[in-house]
Structure 1
Amino acid sequence: MADVTTILRDLIGEALSDMARQKEVSSDLLPEVHLERPKREDQGDWATNVAMQACKLLGEKPRDLAAMVVDRLKDDEHIRSVEVAGPGFINFFLADRWIGNVISSVLSSGDDYGRCDLGKGRKVQVEFVSANPTGPLHVGHGRGAAVGDIVGNILDFSGWKVEKEYYVNDAGLQMSNLGKSTQSRYFELLGQADKAPFPEDGYKGDYIYDLARQVIDDHGDEYLSVDLEESLPFFRDFSSKVILDGIKADLKRFGVTFDCWFSEKSLYENDQVLDTVEALRKRGYSYEEDGAIWFRSTDFGDDKDRVLFRSNGVPTYFASDVAYHKNKFDRGFDLAIDVWGADHHGYVPRMRAAVEALGKSPDDNFAVTLIQFVNLLRDGEQVSMSTRSGQFVTLSDVIDEVGVDATRFYFVMRRSDSHLDFDLELAKRESSDNPVFYVQYANARIASITRNLRDKGIAMPSVDELDESLISSSEEKKLITRLSMFPEEVEKAAVEMAPHRIVNYVHDLAGDFHSFYNAHRVLDENPSRPSRILLVKATHVVLTNALRILGISAPERM
């Protein structure tokens, strides 16, 4: 069953097409009909500015064209009234029929309500977290994990074929420093610190001591007699594996799973970095100067050219990143989305340049979502996050404190590129002040109604029993309007790659349901009972669909 916005778009489109035919103008030239919510309730349920967009093509003044459209639509059964406003806006006030249309559409679609075909089956890869396996995930990584995971869920719900990927930075100097750090702590714990000084750029967290203790538990002092350079590969590989296993465990606990864990080392083992540089050379986008190999990123608007291989023959991180993105496109992805920390902002122009140099569109085939910093608070006071000994530095610590649901919800409450204040005490509070509790409590209330329905022996009504005229209060209409908005919010969230839109929507939906619940008795014996039960059931469908996208549970008791 078509939703009311589709019906309105079709009606407006048909009216404009008729006018175009009468004026011998091709209807293909008409603008697309867009509907939006008016800012004030007295301006109607929906509005469009299409008359102002089409007036020149059809040779009419905007208000005159809007009046012509209104005249053609005023008698439709879905429309209570329609008016021209301002310079040519058309405001629609919907008839009661749309109430039944919305509820029936939700209930017939069920788990699929809100889905769209924006992606049209195209392949998209969302690469996120991708933290170096040199330490446990901190809260910044956690926000990136929540954003990336939910962006993938939104795109999947919007018709894309989604793959989620973690890029394991297991090559380069940082891995050597990790191995040296564990090696040094190993010698220190065995009383021979002077034989393996701690590296200047080593990792100082307590977890390095934990790694060294694991080596001692497994191997005792056998590496004390082995040359440092000879034993370094063991300490490097041991440390990175233990840390990566911990990262995987934390993410699984957080409800985040990946389709692929891609190793940076594989790019070198398969000569993909060299092959990528050669491909750039053949396209005329790389050159050699002072013994180094450079990428002509200034050809694509970057402020300077970028080094791919240093004069000593060592590749830069940028070289492997370019090779990695070429690998993504070689695997057939139509769109590659990177979720990066905000400190990578300056890296975006050179990657866009590289994508274009590889023959892809930096606008259509590549996108970057930047994740801003998280401020952890406790009752409004900032929590220290400067060292590993800080009380809440790791993602695991935060989950231990407030749970998976609250952590995921809070991480995506704001635009990902804006700073986020995360109050730990508020996230645990069982009150309407805590937004995740507020949302989940709406679901628990619905579950309570369902249980009471069963306990009272009241059968679930069929859609045929729906009487739109009996659910016409302001609270009921506001709730139904919110239900009808879900498909458009999903589509906007997909276009903008904006999980916060779904969070804001589900919070507003919970608020509208609580207002309805507090104002009306659902199970009392009266003529409106079947219709209200169906409205509650429809609310449950949309609420659970939204929470499923967010990866948040829908508890039935709280």
Structure 2
Amino acid sequence: MQHPRLEAALARAARDLGAADDVTVRLERPRETAHGDLAANLAMVLAQQLGRKPRELAGELVDRLDLQALQIESAEIAGPGFINFRVSRDFLFDGLRHVCRAGRDYGRGDWGAGSRVNVEFVSANPTGPLHVGHGRGAAVGDTIARLLEFTGHDVCREFYVNDAGSQIDKLVDSISARHRQLEGESAAIPEGGYHGEYIVDLARELASDLADELAADASPEGRARVRRRAIERVIEEQRRTLEALRVQFDEFRSETELRESSSIEETVEQLTERGLIYEREGARWLRTTDFEDDKDRVLVKSDGSYTYFLPDIAYHHDKAKRGFDTAIDIWGADHHGYVPRMTAAMRALGLEKEFFEAVIVQLVRIERGGEEVKFSKRAGEFVTLRDLVDEVGADVTRYFFLERGPQQQMVFDLDLAKERSEKNPVYKVQYAHARIRSVYRRGDIDPEGIDFDADLSPLVETSAHEMIKTILGFPEVVEAAARSREPHRITAYLENLANELNSWYHAGTRDASLRVLGQEEAVTNARLVVVRASETVLRNGLELLGIEAPESM
């Protein structure tokens, strides 16, 4: 819950007492409701600077506040010098009206205005179907992008196609072997090659016009044609899978095209000019230890070939040259150790340390009946993302991937995912929204016609006041989730609001006087404003997660 007028008034009071002109005031929600609605530690922060006792200073700060004008019911000094505030009913009611008027813009911020952010995620090798680990990265990356857009940033969603490595040669060899097997020839999948039915499907499809190129004695030109077509088909399948998860990209960038451009050479030249490349044992090294890496890194091997690190540096350098202020990468757990060296490389190029960020997404374990599900018939070696989305749907898949912090390992319980009860968190949140829509239908109410300016004084029950406080906390949660790159803050908030809303609703089943409908007109109108505000926040929160807000369930 935010109260910018109170923050400004505290800052003025602090300056009157001798604080610096740029004094910063932060209000926070106390962990215990008994301690009030908002708390400030300003007196303790200023006490040492001003040579004052914190509790005395806190009292003087409060004395300089016009509590009534600020819609503050009470201000108490607690502990070593905290100031605990309780907001008035008028503050809550005005806030509730603001939520309803703002509608789909409620929670939107502008602190990111003018900032261009590149969010790169998934970036899977074009060698086969996406697995569930890619899916978690997709949900996290897309939701971070949504949060950043909602807070004013100019965001580009980007997929880096790793189409230049030896894994592509193995893909071509695997398709060729499957084609020859289908033709009755003896052919083995190469070591480290790809298995699963999708390779057979690719072999059949490509053989329609590339049969000669799939032969064992195919020319380099023929293999190159197979390579291009195979990459195109795999990427197209990956895109369709991601679209089924409601994930779309603004840019697909190719490693092959990067290598064919001058980007790598330009990056090496710039690092050389900065005196950060040296030769040792015939190889060229980057002084990443100058920028807090644990050791220097090889960029060019003694045979003249590039390490995998150099094209990655050039690719991220290209993001800066395209005008992005921040580059956020969503990486799997196996890339954790890669973060310091990439951060060092960006600093070596003269970029700020804050330019590059990596969000590490931990592993996913799929379970059914308490047992791990390991294999997919189509992929041969892992559970595919498409299998998962087809089985439980995009809403459940996204929500489960987002419910925990990215750096926490997770178990995806298929049985729970299919359960239509409040044990299933996404069902609970969506059902709370659907229940609100059912209230409108039962009361023959046009939600657009609800009078937000109605007298809200009939809202006397404590449960309604507490729910309003939760509703008014949404913008703060959105900003915190965007700044920390932690979408699970939104899921936790929505589950809490759904719990409060369901408790409020169920109270009416036990006591008819607490129902929304069937009351005196003034009472029903006031409660409908709470319902409308709750619906607004549930819908906006679900949209940030890329999840539907259903009319009925």
Instruction: Quickly name the TM-score band, shorter chain normalised.
Output: over 0.9
Aligned partner of 2:510 in structure 1 is none
Alignment of 1:467-482 (within 5 A): 467=456, 469-482=457-470
Aligned position for 1:501: 489
Gaps of 5+ in 2: 508-513
Q: Which moved more, 1:404-413 or 1:95-104?
A: 95-104
What is the TM-score when the length of structure 2 is the normalising length? 0.94
Confirm or deny: 8 A CA contact 2:328 2:356 kept in the other structure: yes
> What residue is the counterpart of 1:344 in the other structure?
335
Q: Which moved more, 1:184-193 or 1:158-167?
A: 184-193
CA distance in 1 between counterparts of 2:306 and 2:211 reads 37
- In structure 1, the partner of 2:190 is 199
Pick the aligned partner of 1:465 from 427, 430, 454: 454
1:290 matches 2:281: yes
Distance across 1 between alignment mates of 2:434 and 2:214: 57
- Per-residue deviation, 1:109: 1.5
3-state SS, counterpart of residue 449 of structure 2: coil
Pick the aligned partner of 1:68 from 35, 41, 60. Answer: 60
Secondary structure of 1:287's match? strand
Q: Distance in 2 between matches of 1:225 and 1:202?
A: 16
2:129 is paired with a residue whose SS is coil
| One of 251, 257, 268 as aligned partner of 1:277 | 268
Distance 1:222 1:504, change over 3 A: closer
Q: 1:371 & 1:97 partners in 2: Cα distance?
A: 43
SS in 1 for 2:466: helix
Which amino acid counterpart does residue 540 of structure 1 have in structure 2? E
Q: Alpha carbons of 1:360 and 1:219: their partners in 2 closer, same or farther (altered >3 Å)?
A: closer
- d(CA) in 2 for partners of 1:441 and 1:293? 59
Determine which of 7, 15, 19 is the counterpart of 1:17: 15
What's 2:398 paired with? 408
Gaps of 5+ in 1: none
Give the C-alpha shift of residue 226 in structure 1.
4.5
In 2, the alpha carbon distance for the partners of 1:226 and 1:389 equals 27
Query: 1:177, 1:546 → 2: CA distance?
Result: 43
2:207 is the alignment partner of 1:212: no
Please state if 1:254 is matched with 2:245: yes
Judge conservation of contact 1:52–1:88 (CA < 8 Å) in 2. Answer: yes
AA in 1 matched with 2:460 = S
Q: Structure 1 residues 340, 541: closer, same or farther in 2, change over 3 A?
A: same
Q: Which amino acid aligns with 1:419?
A: Q
TM value normalised by structure 1? 0.94
Q: Equivalences for 1:78-227 in 2 at 5 Å? A: 78-194=71-187, 197-220=188-211, 223-224=214-215, 226-227=217-218
Alignment check: 8 A CA contact 1:302 1:350 kept? yes
Offset at residue 198 of structure 1 (A): 3.0
CA contact (8 A) 2:542 2:548 kept: yes
Residue 345 of structure 2 is aligned to residue 354 of structure 1: yes
CA distance in 2, matches of 1:168, 1:222: 24
Asked if the contact 1:443–1:540 (Cα under 8 Å) also holds between the matched residues in 2, the reply is yes
Question: Is 1:331 equivalent to 2:322 in the alignment?
Answer: yes
Contact in 1 for aligned 2:299/2:307 (Cα 8 Å): yes
The one of 269, 277, 301 aligned to 2:292: 301
Structure 2 residue matching 1:258: 3-state secondary structure: coil
Q: Give the aligned partner of residue 257 of structure 2.
A: 266
Deviation of 1:217 (Å)? 3.8
One-letter amino acid of the structure 2 residue matched with residue 13 of structure 1: A
- The equivalent position to 2:515 in structure 1, one of 518, 521, 526, is 521
1:45 is aligned, of 37, 43, 63, to: 37
One-letter amino acid of the counterpart of residue 396, structure 1: R
**Secondary structure at 1:64 match in 2:** helix
User: Contact 2:126–2:231 at 8 Å: present in 1 too?
Assistant: yes
1:509, CA displacement in angstroms? 1.1
SS at 1:368's partner residue? strand
Q: Is the 8 A contact 1:171 1:264 kept in 2?
A: yes
Shift in CA distance, 392/349, structure 1 to aligned 2, threshold 3 Å: closer
* Residue 452 of structure 1: how far off its partner (Å): 2.3
Aligned residues: 545
Decide whether the 8 Å contact of 2:213 with 2:225 is kept in 1.
no
- Alignment deviations for residues 235-254 of structure 1 (CA, whole Å, 9 cap, x no partner): 22222111111001111111
Rounded to whole Å, the distance in 1 between the matches of 2:217 and 2:381 is: 37
The one-letter code of the counterpart of 2:81 is: G
Stretch deviating more after TM superposition (109-118 or 164-173): 109-118
Cα pair 1:179 1:233 within 8 Å, conserved: no
Work out which of the residue numbers 370, 387, 399 in structure 2 matches 1:397: 387
Distance across 1 between alignment mates of 2:323 and 2:150 = 20
Measured after TM superposition, the shift of residue 160 of structure 1 is: 0.8
**CA gap 1:392/1:437 in 2 versus in 1, 3 angstroms:** farther
Moved over 6 A (4+): none
Judged with a 3 Å threshold, the aligned counterparts in structure 2 of structure 1 residues 389 and 308 are, in CA distance, closer, same or farther, namely: closer
Structure 1 pair 249–509 and aligned structure 2 pair: CA distance change class (3 A): same
User: What is the aligned counterpart of 2:542 among 527, 538, 547?
Assistant: 547
Q: Give identity over the alignment, percent.
A: 46
How far apart, CA to CA, are the structure 2 residues paired with 1:193 and 1:84? 84
Where does residue 454 of structure 1 map in the other structure?
A: 444
1:47/1:379 CA distance change after superposition, 3 Å: farther
Is the 8 Å Cα contact of residues 40 and 84 (structure 2) preserved in structure 1? yes
CA distance in 1, matches of 2:267, 2:450: 63
Local SS of the residue matching 2:57: helix
CA distance in 2, matches of 1:80, 1:301: 51
Secondary structure of the 2:331 match is strand
- Cα deviation 1:181-210 (Å, max 9, x = unaligned): 11122112212235xx43222122332122
Q: Does 1:376 align with 2:371?
A: no
Which one-letter code corresponds to 1:7 in the other structure? R
